[in-house]
Structure formats: structure tokens, C-alpha cells
């Protein structure tokens, strides 16, 4: 489903048991003042109302999960709810612009606001961040690896959906490779996949006793699969990467082998220190450190962890050994700002593993809904007149 600007009315019924469970969930998770308002309206007379939904910051529009939930509730209640989407899924929408209108009997939709806003705001901001990352690094493929950082399965679904929408929008707008998959089976379908992607965590290397042995165990268990090997466990990124390449030369030469840099920020990768890091960038992108940089940007360039210098250093080490087709996967803190810095120096990254498109500030994810019409008469609180329908809209 890819919602487009349109109008739809939902009236389909659902089985009574499912409807009862849905009502229980709504009652348990809706703000009390909405439930009290519902009782008042039911007692003193219903009105047909129209809600305008908006956000206070620019976003990429991600309405699908919210729309599906409202449709489900309307079907369970056997009532008509009209949803007017004002933008296509994946569209950039400015701060304060109405995203959609929801119309129906006030008694039937006033108690839905808490939950449907939860399903809209976070996804829109995460999609915006994902879109920005993909646009800044259009040649890199992205993997959504956020599930461990989410507050439960519902949030994980919102974030996977958002990454897929943001990635598709970047593909549409700038020809970016975008997000090609994620790490869990449950949400792989958002990326057109049957299963989540991934090969090994650090735990497997600790279990195996060496990076090379972990690679062997994986290859023996999952014959013929693409092999991506973590190389930072023992602090010997280059040594262990080359050992794996030499052990699997066919996979290396055929492009079926990748090394993943995930070095934490407490140390430099093997072979680098501050002076060596500056020297690496001077060889490959001599103008990079001559530009003005913030302290954080400078750290991403030549600091500890997975820096631009670290990535260039690994690429050069692989190439010198003749492994020019081995891919580099970079992870560890790749948010929109870090991706922009990596793009500015053309860091040779093939795949980015990231969960850092998740909103940095949760307050930015708050979506808001205001009633803008009662029984067809425009009315909204002072200061929100911008939400009123435009003539002919």
C-alpha cells in the first residue's frame, strides 16, 4: 500500500471478538481526556468533525501505518471515517503544513488521536533522517540495523517502514541506492525481502576464538552465502581482514566477501594514531582537513573509531593485497551528520549499517491533530488558522 493524496471512506465490519479486543486496547492506551470527551459527546449530541494533522518540523510523509490502523478501527466500529491525504507517501512536507484531514462522527474518532499520532510522527522524522543519509551518500547501500535500539516491536516496525520510505524517496529524487534491507524477518517485507540481512555479531567471534575461525564456521554453516566479517574484535582490523581474504580468495575476488568496520570510539583501528590518520587523509583527500570543521566533524575524519581515515586505510590495505573486490561495510554511529561528513571526503564505503536514522530528539516526532470544522463550519483555536482547508480544498 502506498497512500496517495485521495479520499476514502471506511465502513467494512470485522468479527466481534477482534472488535472487542481493539476497543480494549484503545481504552487502555488513549489519553483520559479524549475518553471523557467521547462520553460527553455521546450524552449531549454528536457532531461531524474534521481533524487536521500536522508536524512542527519538515518531514517525509509516512502515513501508511496510521491510515491502516484508523481503517481497522472504523471497520471494527462499523462507522464511516473519511481520510484525505494531502501528500503522497515519501513526499517532503514543510513544518506546519497539514498532512491529512480526518472526518467523521466526533464520538467515533475523538478517542483515536493518542494512538494514531504515535503511528505517524516518529515514522515521518525517521524517514526524513533516512532520506538525508541516502541523499548524502547516494552510491552507498544502507542496512537498517535499528531493531535493538527500539522500544519494542511496534517501534521497530515504525522505524523499518520509515527507512524503506526514506530510502525509496532518495532513490526517486537523486538516484541513490538507498536502503536495501534490514536485520529482522518481521519487517523485511518493507524492503521487498523475505528475510532480514546479517551474518555475525561480535559474540560469534568470541565464541570461535578468532575472527578467521568465525568466518570459517559461518561459511561452513551457510554455504554459498555472502560473507560479511566483523574485524574489530581483537583490535587487528587489517590483519584479520587480510587473513579472511586469503582464506576465501574466490569469494574475495568475486565480490562475495565484505569486511565490516565497527571499531568503538575508545581506540584507533590497527595501524592508525592521530598523526597517521592525518597522513592518510592527506594522501587520499588532501583538502579535507583544510576546511573548517567542528570538533565532532574532525573526530569523524581523523579520530578514533570508524573514521574516514580508518575507512581509507582499510581500503588501501585491501587494494595493496590485491583484494580490490572486497566490500567495506561501515557501522557505528552513522547518523545523518556523520554521513554528510563521509560524503564530503568521498569515503570509500560500500554499505552503511545504521540505526542512527532514529530521531535524536524525541520531541521532534510529536505530531498534532486539531479539529478544524464542526458540522461543516470552520472552527479552530486561535493561532492554528493555517490548518483550515483552503477554498476548493
Q: For the segment 196-225, what is each residue's pLDDT rounded down to a tens digit?
A: 999 999 999 999 999 999 999 999 999 989
In this model, does residue 389 exceed pLDDT 90? no
Average pLDDT, the chain: 94
Tell me the CB-side half-sphere exposure of residue 6, using CA atoms within 13 A.
8
Q: What pLDDT is stored for residue 10 in this prediction?
A: 52
**Which uninterrupted H or E stretch holds 156?**
helix 153-174
In this model, does residue 392 exceed pLDDT 80? no
Task: Report the largest interatomic distance among the alpha carbons of the chain, rounded to a whole angstrom.
Answer: 80
Q: What pLDDT is stored for residue 1 in this prediction?
A: 41
Give the cell for residue 128: 526524513
Which letter does DSSP use for residue 372 in this model? E
Q: For the segment 237-291, what is each residue's pLDDT rounded down to a tens digit?
A: 999 999 999 999 999 999 999 999 999 999 999 999 999 999 999 999 998 888 7
Across 222-231, average pLDDT = 95
Beta strands in 183-301 (DSSP E): 227-230, 257-261
Across 3-16, average pLDDT = 63
Beta strand 178-182 pairing with 141-144: parallel
Cell 470544522 -> residue: 373
Q: What pLDDT is stored for residue 9 in this prediction?
A: 57
In this model, does residue 6 exceed pLDDT 80? no
Which letter does DSSP use for residue 269 in this model? P
The neighbouring-strand residues paired with 205 are none
Q: What pLDDT is stored for residue 12 in this prediction?
A: 54
- Chain length of the chain: 393
Q: What pLDDT is stored for residue 2 in this prediction?
A: 46
pTM: 0.92
Amino acid at each position: 500500500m502506498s497512500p496517495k493524496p485521495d479520499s476514502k471512506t471506511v465502513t467494512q465490519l470485522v468479527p466481534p471478538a477482534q472488535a472487542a479486543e481493539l476497543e480494549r486496547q484503545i481504552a487502555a492506551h488513549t489519553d483520559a481526556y479524549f475518553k471523557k470527551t467521547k462520553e460527553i459527546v455521546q450524552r449531549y449530541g454528536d457532531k461531524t468533525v474534521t481533524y487536521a494533522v500536522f508536524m512542527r518540523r519538515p518531514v517525509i510523509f509516512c502515513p501508511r501505518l496510521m491510515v491502516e490502523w484508523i481503517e481497522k478501527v472504523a471497520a471494527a466500529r462499523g462507522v464511516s471515517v473519511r481520510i484525505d491525504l494531502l501528500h503522497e507517501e515519501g513526499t517532503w512536507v514543510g513544518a506546519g503544513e497539514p498532512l491529512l484531514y480526518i472526518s467523521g462522527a466526533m464520538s467515533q474518532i475523538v478517542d483515536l488521536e493518542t494512538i494514531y499520532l504515535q503511528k505517524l510522527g516518529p515514522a515521518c522524522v525517521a524517514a526524513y533522517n533516512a532520506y538525508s543519509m541516502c541523499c548524502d551518500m547516494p552510491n552507498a547501500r544502507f542496512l537498517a540495523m535499528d531493531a535493538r535500539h527500539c522500544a519494542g516491536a511496534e517501534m521497530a516496525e515504525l522505524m523499518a517502514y520509515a527507512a524503506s520510505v526514506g530510502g525509496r524517496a532518495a532513490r526517486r529524487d537523486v538516484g541513490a541506492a538507498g536502503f536495501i534491507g534490514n536485520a529482522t524477518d518481521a519487517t523485511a517485507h518493507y524492503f521487498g525481502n523475505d528475510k532480514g540481512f546479517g551474518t555475525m555479531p561480535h559474540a560469534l567471534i568470541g565464541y570461535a576464538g578468532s575472527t578467521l575461525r568465525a568466518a570459517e564456521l559461518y561459511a561452513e554453516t551457510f554455504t554459498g552465502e555472502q560473507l560479511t566479517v566483523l574485524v574489530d574484535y581483537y583490535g587487528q582490523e587489517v590483519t584479520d581482514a587480510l587473513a579472511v581474504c586469503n582464506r576465501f580468495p574466490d569469494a574475495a575476488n568475486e565480490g562475495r566477501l565484505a569486511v565490516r568496520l565497527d571499531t568503538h570510539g575508545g581506540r584507533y583501528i590497527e595501524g592508525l594514531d592521530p598523526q597517521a590518520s592525518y597522513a592518510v587523509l592527506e594522501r587520499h583527500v588532501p583538502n579535507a582537513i583544510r576546511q573548517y570543521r567542528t570538533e565532532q566533524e574532525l573526530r569523524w575524519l581523523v579520530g578514533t573509531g570508524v573514521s574516514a581515515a580508518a575507512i581509507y586505510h582499510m581500503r588501501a590495505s585491501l587494494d595493496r593485497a590485491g583484494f580490490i573486490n572486497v566490500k567495506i561495510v561501515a557501522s557505528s554511529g552513522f547518523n545523518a551528520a556523520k554521513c554528510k561528513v563521509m560524503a564530503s571526503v568521498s569515503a570509500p564505503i560500500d554499505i552503511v549499517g545504521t540505526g542512527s536514522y532514529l530521531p535524536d530528539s524525541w520531541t521532534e516526532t510529536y505530531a498534532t491533530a486539531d479539529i478544524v470544522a464542526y458540522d461543516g463550519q470552520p472552527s479552530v483555536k486561535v493561532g492554528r488558522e493555517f490548518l483550515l482547508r483552503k477554498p476548493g480544498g
